[in-house]
Structure 1
Amino acid sequence: MAHLFHADRVTYHLKQSPIPEFAWHTSERLAELTGSKHLTFDIRSLDPGKYSYPYHFHRNAEEIFVILEGSALLRTPEGHQELLAGDIAFFEMGPSGAHQLFNHTEQPCKYLDIRTNMGLDVCEYPDSGKINVLPYQEIYESSSQVDYFKGEGQVADKWAAKERGKENE
């Protein structure tokens, strides 16, 4: 079944973060309305002088922006470039796909944001050193990263303690 979304009938709501520079208007979760299993997509409108999400990349999602109206500056690991109406930007998984938009104009910038959704993603924020486990919104500082085997020593003692606990039940 085809699902059609007419631009003049899409409703938006403001997403304002605690940091005033991060604010955008977003459509209803269009993908949810379709029952899509592997794509998430929304239409966003970025007001003049505002930034999209903090500079980030995904470990388990690809993302595409299609600029529908207006223009914005795109930040990537290669630098900054202007995106104009009709432009398409693809962001691969991993650090080379890091991105952020800034509306440097006096007009809103509307864009279609399409992402793959494989159920679980890890989003990293190079500017602030954070890691976000999605969709749970569990956010950690990457500076707390530890060795895989930290705290895993004395395995036999842990097994014995577990067995003693069962005997006391």
Structure 2
Amino acid sequence: MKSIPVAAETIPPPDKKTIYPAPFASLVQGRTKRKLGDHFGLTNFGVNLTHLASGAVSALLHHHSKQDELVYILQGTPTLMLDKQEYLLKPGDCMGFKAGTGVAHQLVNRSAEPAIYIEIGDRTEGDEVEYPQDDLKATQLASGVWALTHKDGRPY
């Protein structure tokens, strides 16, 4: 935990790029997150500075049961997938994702240039994440650790 201002780009990304199991982990290979909130010891919400390389996705298409999220585009033109709708975003655009609505979302960088955005999410306990297009479910355990299983409950 640091107690002085720093340039966000100097905060190193974590060694582990994703909690997704194979075969899903490879889908976010072009994504780099710098966990700004964790760097400062924030516990109520997370803040990430995220880079998406050309062709990369932010996450699998998903929605949360309890945790809200918000993205703010700094650079590039990622496409927001919102259930079956698509929206081309540009710097200065933002979108919030209210938990419990069942509306799935993800960002896809279809452009030739990198996309950079801030992502903010709360850390409400007991969250579950549904992935409507994939055989994956994430459940947040009491310890805060995420358990990833097939939709029928079998572990990966």
Please report the TM-score for the alignment, with normalisation by the length of structure 1. Answer: 0.73
Structure 1 match to 2:7: 6
Structure 1: 5+ residue stretches without partners = 145-169
The alpha carbon displacement at 1:7 in A equals: 4.1
Describe the superposition over 1:32-51 as per-residue Cα deviations: whole angstroms up to 9, x where unpaired.
Answer: 22232311111010000111
Structure 2 match to 1:68: 74
- Per the alignment, in what secondary structure is the counterpart of residue 78 of structure 2? strand
The alpha carbon displacement at 1:138 in A equals: 1.3
Structure 1 match to 2:63: 57
What one-letter code is carried by the residue in structure 2 that aligns with 1:22? V
Are 1:21 and 2:21 an aligned pair? no
As a proportion of its length, which structure holds more helix? 1
For residues 38 and 127 of structure 1, the distance between their equivalents in structure 2, rounded to whole angstroms, comes to 29
Structure 2 match to 1:109: 115
For residues 108 and 89 of structure 1, the distance between their equivalents in structure 2, rounded to whole angstroms, comes to 19
The alpha carbon displacement at 1:68 in A equals: 0.7
- Per the alignment, in what secondary structure is the counterpart of residue 107 of structure 2? strand
Mean alpha-carbon deviation: is it higher for 99-108 or for 13-22? 13-22
Compared CA separation, residues 120 and 4, structure 1 to 2 (3 A) = farther
Asked if the contact 2:64–2:102 (Cα under 8 Å) also holds between the matched residues in 1, the reply is no
For residues 76 and 64 of structure 1, the distance between their equivalents in structure 2, rounded to whole angstroms, comes to 13
Aligned identity (percent) is 22
Structure 1 runs of 4+ aligned residues shifted over 6 Å read none
Please report the TM-score for the alignment, with normalisation by the length of structure 2. Answer: 0.78
User: Which of 133, 136, 144 is residue 130 of structure 1 equivalent to?
Assistant: 136
RMSD of aligned alpha carbons: 2.5
Larger Rg: 1
Are 1:47 and 2:17 an aligned pair? no
